[in-house]
Amino acid sequence: MTGTSGSRPRISDEQRRARLGERHLLVPARRAESVEQVADAVVGLHATDAATVYLSACARLAEPSAAEVERALYDDVTLVKLLSMRRTIFAVTEGFAPFVSSSTARAIAARERATLVKHLRDFAEGWDEARLARTERAVLAALEVRGEATTAELSADVPALRETMLMAEGKPYEARQSVGSRLLRLLASDGHVRRCRPRGSWLSSNYPYAPVRQWPELPVRESKAEVARRWLASYGPATVEDLKWWTGWTLGDTRRALADVGAQEVAMGDGVAGVVLPGDVGVVRASGPWAALLPALDPTVMGWRGRDWYLRAEDVPALFDRAGNAGPTVWWDGRVVGGWAQRADGELVWRLLSDVGAEAEAAVAAEAVRLAGWLGEVRVTPRIRTPLERELVR
């Protein structure tokens, strides 16, 4: 990284918020025409919760629709899901996917495989690495014949998938896990299969799987540099710790990736040292104040570890769960100012946690109308339930 403490350009918190609105396509004038543009703008869309991909994308689309997201995910397959950064499922564009795979996903898949082998040996009968390999080959052969199939459908072709593992025996949370569900997740993590259009609505997680071509194996170091470059373009300025946390890499790997892209040091609004891409120190002119209703685990609210420049500490207990996952948030001009929820009858409700003025209140109400317009009859309950979200739906 370049720069010294005496020569660092300064980027204020106000400028960071301006960058956030413009670069994350949250300013109405910057909204995108396609979901691929959205995914690249935020590097990747959180996809652990099926609804998040749709809600995050549509918040940034000029013409929001679930059909546009489904096109990219399931028709054109230009948006793919990978278990990657922080062992979280992200939906990234197909051009970026090989870099994510080589930089992060392959290492996670290797750990997932080792964990499954251990669980099979400890909690199931008659399993070892050889049997697991035979079962994987049988599943892939069955998928080649079927084209796509759910785990339950594949169990008719590969009976071993029906076997179970008894986890946490004798404990209050004792449970049986099917070999099939774990093995298909592993094959997806390894890049052998992809999740297809779910059975049911776009909120469903009952995915069939289909074979997929393997991503090319790119050099790990170069791939980490590309991930760091894209992340800094969207999230800079930020701290080294922010990138380390976002990726789940070691500190050494994080620093090396930043050095490889020539990251430039800056002083951020609170005086803390941050980094940007080389030369990315110019003033970003905001296109005007903006409001947004973003879903649980949206990439913007989960984009940095240090959040005090856009989130008040006193609001965290209401908007995050105990594991540190963000629930649905209301934004005004680069700050989190409240939370929102959808009730069983479809009504969208929200609560502002600070006095933001009449202009902001009107803009938030307009965003709620926009969201309700494309949701239609769909009812969304986030997988991440936070205190404020639960309170709002009572």
State phi, psi for 305 to the nearest 5 degrees.
-80, -40
The answer to whether residue 2 scores a pLDDT higher than 80 is no
Kindly tell me if the per-residue pLDDT of 80 is higher than 80: yes
Report d(CA 351, CA 205) in Å as an integer.
29
> Is the Cα dihedral 55, 56, 58, 59 positive or negative?
positive
Rounded CA gap, 390 and 32, in Å? Answer: 31
- Tell me, what's the pLDDT at 1? 55
* Residue 342 C-beta-side C-alpha neighbours within 13 Å: 22
| Mean pLDDT value across residues 325-336 | 98
Task: Of 355, 322, 249, 274, give the one whose Cα is nearest residue 8.
Answer: 274
pLDDT at 6: 56
Q: Which element (helix H / strand E) includes 46?
A: strand 45-46
Q: What's the rounded Cα separation, in Å, for the pair 249 and 245?
A: 7
Pairing of strands 273-276, 291-294: unpaired
Q: Which residue has the tokens 């230009």?
A: 78
Dihedral of CA 225/226/227/229: which sign?
positive
Q: What is the pTM of this model?
A: 0.94
Q: What are phi and psi of 2, to 5 degrees?
A: -105, 160
Side chain identity at residue 37, one-letter code: Q
pLDDT band at 390 (very low <50, low <70, confident <90, very high): very high
Say yes or no to pLDDT of 35 above 90. Answer: yes
DSSP state at residue 283: P
Give the separation between CA 368 and CA 341, rounded to whole angstroms: 10
Residue 385, pLDDT above cutoff 50: yes
Q: Calculate what percentage of the chain has a pLDDT beyond 70.
A: 98
% of the chain with per-residue pLDDT over 90:
89
Phi first, then psi, for residue 213 (nearest 5°) are: -65, 145
Amino acid at 39: A
In the predicted model, is pLDDT for residue 3 greater than 80? no
More confident residue, 201 or 270: 201
Query: Residue 133: in which H helix or E strand, if any?
Result: helix 129-146
Give 230's Cβ-side CA count (13 Å radius): 21
For 129-173, the pLDDT digits (tens) are 999 999 999 999 999 999 999 999 999 999 999 999 888 777 887
pLDDT of 196 higher than 50: yes
Mean pLDDT of the chain: 95
**pLDDT at residue 5, as a whole number:** 47
Cβ(116)–Cβ(182) below 8 Å? yes
Residues 6+ apart with CB under 8 A from 1: 255, 258, 259, 262, 263, 264, 265, 275
Using alpha carbons, list the distances in angstroms from residue 160 to 108, 125, 165, 289.
Answer: 25, 11, 12, 57
What are the tens digits of pLDDT across the range 245-297?
A: 999 999 999 999 999 999 999 999 888 999 999 999 999 998 889 999 999 99
Determine phi and psi for 309, rounding to 5 degrees: -85, -10
Residue 320 bridge partners (DSSP): 326
Neighbours of 205 (CB within 10 A): 13
DSSP codes, 18-35: HHHHHHTT-SGGG-BSSH
The tokens of 233 are what?
């373009």
Tokens of 269: 């609004």
